[in-house]
A and B are shown apart, each in its own frame.
Chain A
Amino acid sequence: MELVKKTILTMLILLLAGTMAFAGGQQGSSDGAGEKVKLVFTSWRTEDIDRMNRINAEFTKQHPDIVIDFQPVKDTEYDAQLKQSLAAGVGADIIFLRSYDSGYQIYKTDSLMELNSMLPELKDFPSAAVAAWATPDKVSYAIPAAGVVHGVYYRKSIFDKYGLKVPATWDEFMKVCETLKTGGETVFAQGTKDNWMLYEVMYSGLGANFYGGEEARQALMSKEARFTDANFVLAMEKMKELQPYFPERFEGIDYVTMQQIFGTGNAAMFMGGSWEIGIFEDLGGLDDVGYFAPPLANKGDTLQYCFHVDAGIGFNKNTKYPEELKVYMKWLASSEYAQLYMNELPGFFSYTPGSYTLTNDLAKQMQSYVAKSVPTVRTVWEKLSAQAPSGNELVGEAIQLMYADKATPEQACALVDDGLSWYYE
């Protein structure tokens, strides 16, 4: 008996000692990296690892003592992971931040550096972009890093087959759809299983020309307009007009499937975002892919172009290496980084002032519309999504219901307006 007891006791002590040694070992290794300083950079773009590593290698060439370790987290996990890691004091040094309230919530946890005095360059950035990552008192907590646009991708070969031209107005767009449908083509690759696309790309992108773009968005935020107003309903009706051209059983088609359908040349058009260039390149190449901006309501109208503030870059206040981080921060705000970034990631547009050459044809086309347009961002992203239920979710849900024939366009708008009652209280 005594022997058994002794054996067990020894085992327990060994186990405890082992655990402690293991924990201690981990602690030690993180500090012992040598003279080189490693800064951890996190983002929600797991598909960018190689590209970001190439960009950061350029930085390390100039600053051999600083290594940037790009560690992205899957988009849907990102926000939870970021919150957790910052709260636990193990957050990354360089942090991708979503625009407006989402990023602002992270700032409110007192984890981010304030940039106004550290980065005077910010005053030369477009003020609307800076405001997307600033407090109401104009304290900036992130560098506006990337914007994305929404429009329509098309297959050149399919358009050529029917002798179709890129439509400029909605009527022309509908005619193109009809011709393709009559010809037996899958007109759009669109499905409605993932409702965020319906709002972010379709309603905000293609609807903006009908609800009145930036002016209407501002009126909505200032409570002068409501989502049930005629212009917002009209945009909803236009979305409904697209339904006959969706593939069979579109309700079950998710985002990835849509990309695959279009990317492999099995649909004539895809309403998407500029971030998808890389995906289509990987799926089947870009030679056959064209792009046009959201069709205008009437000929001669000014394009209301959804140029969404997508990603800002913030900096962890509790970093171990504030000096090195500052060096990298300056570089991130430089036109050199912006050019490298746009070369590597076509479809993401930098806000950093400077003149740039775009290498990708689709990206060039996307940008060519900017000069003759009024830029805007996604309809209810700012302020109207600060609380639950968020405007973002409500619009997506409402459109999904409309496409499932469970709500008319008026009812869909009323659902959004009802859900936003917290904003009007």
Chain B
Amino acid sequence: MLQAQKKHARFLFMFIFPAFIIYTVFMLLPILNSMKYSLYSGDGLIPENFVGLDNYVKLFTEERYYSKFWNAFSNNIKFFLIVTFIQNILGFFMAVFVTRSFKGNKFMRKLSFLPTTLSVLVVGFIFKLILNPYYGVFDKVLEALGLGKYIIPWLGDPRSALIIVSIAVSWQFFGESVLFYSSGIDGIDDSILEAARIDGANIWHEIIHIILPSVLPIVGIVTILIFIGDFTQFDIVYAMTGYRGDPGYSTDLMGSLFYRTAFATTERGGWGTGMGATVATMMFIIVTVGVGILLAFFNRKKEEMLK
């Protein structure tokens, strides 16, 4: 028996081994290396002077650093909240819609997933073109509808820029939430829904008493995925408002902050590789802690539901 188990373990190891090597070389080691660099300072890509925790002390005590860091952090929280709201709530209703039986529901399902297959940069540039105040289609449509007085420079106004960027991301990854939720809804036994209908339940009763409780665990998965995606998001900001998170850093997220501080020259907002690695390490910590908290929260909810 023991022999067989050992053999089985060895067999499994052979499957894991290639992935493990790739993961270690391309993920684990760079992360550890980046953490190491956060303890160094100096010119060039590889900082050489060991400074201990000095970079962290600087990041949280010198205004020129912490003002940008906390700004990006709070923008990121707002960004996460907006995206979570759109993807979770609208995604859920869309999933309910496409899982009803009507002609063309399969097509709708596919259609809703289409934007997810595009590149983030492409989506960003398309939104930027549509919203261009000079030749963008969006303003022209608003004018045609007689809503001209509500037009603002969407991506040039700090009040609207972050919301617009969040909407662009949500639009793109909306299909992913629909996919998760609709597969959850598909998993509900038809007989339960039928029984409910016979008992006179309407669509709202179905949603509140049957569908929602069954897909609740999926809310956790979707939220965690959004959290990880949003706190490492860079491309959309880069495409729509530039790596400075214009206007006036109002769309600067942790990802763009990291890119700028680590790789740009000082003239263009760089802080040197050492400080950049410090920001990267902080991102790692934020994502790890955040995912931990979310996991604990949703696990507790699940247990409560099972009771």
Interface residues of chain A, those whose CB is within 8 Å of chain B, are: 1, 5, 8-9, 12, 15, 76, 79-80, 83-84, 86-87, 98, 101-102, 105-106, 108-109, 191-195, 247-254, 257, 260-261, 381, 385-390, 392-393, 397, 400-401, 404, 419, 422
Contact = CB atoms under 8 A, between A and B. Distances in A.
Nearest to A397: B248
Contacts of A98: 265, 267
Contacts of B244: 195, 393
Main secondary structure of the interface of A (DSSP, over half): helix
Contacts of A8: 14
A105 B266 contact: yes
A102 B64 contact: no
A251 B14 contact: no
A100 to B, nearest CB: 8
Contact of B152 (A106, A191, A249): A249
B217 interface: no
A388 B62 CA distance: 11
Given A109-B45, A193-B247, A388-B269, 4 more contacts: A98-B267, A193-B153, A247-B134, A400-B248
Given A102-B266, A193-B247, A388-B269, A109 B43 contact: yes
B156 A252 contact: yes
Contacts of A422: 64
B157 A387 contact: no
A375 B133 CA distance: 36
Interface string B3-22: 00001000100100110000
Q: B14, B44, B243, B263: which has the most chain A beta carbons within 10 Å? A: B44
Contacts, number: 135
B220 interface: no
A19 B266 CA distance: 39
B157 A87 contact: no
Contacts of B246: 193-195, 400
Nearest to A108: B43
A91 to B, nearest CB: 11
A250 B43 CA distance: 38
Contacts of A386: 266
Contact of A76 (B44, B133, B243, B249): B243
B133 A387 contact: no
Contact of A84 (B45, B153, B269): B45
A422 to B, nearest CB: 7
A393 B68 CA distance: 13
B43 A105 contact: yes
B151 A388 contact: no
B125 to A, nearest CB: 11
Given A388-B64, A393-B267, A404 B154 contact: no
A190 to B, nearest CB: 12
Contacts of A12: 14, 17-18
A390 B264 CA distance: 12
Given A86-B45, A108-B43, A404 B266 contact: no
Interface in B250-284: 261-271, 273
Contacts of A80: 262-264
Contacts of B131: 252
A419 B68 CA distance: 12
Contacts of B270: 79, 388
Contacts of A106: 44
Contacts of A400: 246-248
A314 to B, nearest CB: 14
Given A108-B44, A109-B43, A389-B64, A193 B155 contact: yes
B46 interface: yes
Contact of A388 (B17, B247, B248, B271): B271
A330 B32 CA distance: 45
Contact of B269 (A102, A390, A404): A390
Q: A84, A252, A254: which has the most chain B beta carbons within 10 Å? A: A252
B158 interface: yes
Given A388-B271, A404-B248, A252 B265 contact: no
Contacts of B290: none
B136 to A, nearest CB: 9
A212 B249 CA distance: 31
B151 A101 contact: no
Contacts of B17: 12
Contacts of B261: 388
Nearest to B7: A1
Contact of B156 (A108, A253, A390): A253
B44 A105 contact: yes
A177 B262 CA distance: 43
Contacts of B7: 1
B138 to A, nearest CB: 11
Given A98-B265, A257-B132, A393-B267, A251 B64 contact: no
A362 B246 CA distance: 33
Contact of A248 (B18, B43, B133): B133
A79 B132 contact: no
Nearest to A393: B269
A201 B156 CA distance: 20
A84 B259 CA distance: 13
B242 interface: yes
Contacts of A397: 248-249
Interface string B288-307: 00000000000000000000
A165 to B, nearest CB: 28
Q: B133, B152, B157: which has the most chain A beta carbons within 10 Å? A: B133
A260 to B, nearest CB: 8
Interface in B130-186: 131-135, 139, 151-158
Given A12-B18, A83-B45, A86-B45, A253 B134 contact: yes
A15 to B, nearest CB: 7
A400 B155 CA distance: 14
A386 B270 CA distance: 10
Contacts of A101: 265-267
A252 B153 contact: yes
A392 B268 contact: yes
Q: A8, A248, A254: which has the most chain B beta carbons within 10 Å? A: A254
Given A12-B14, A251-B153, A253-B134, A385 B247 contact: no
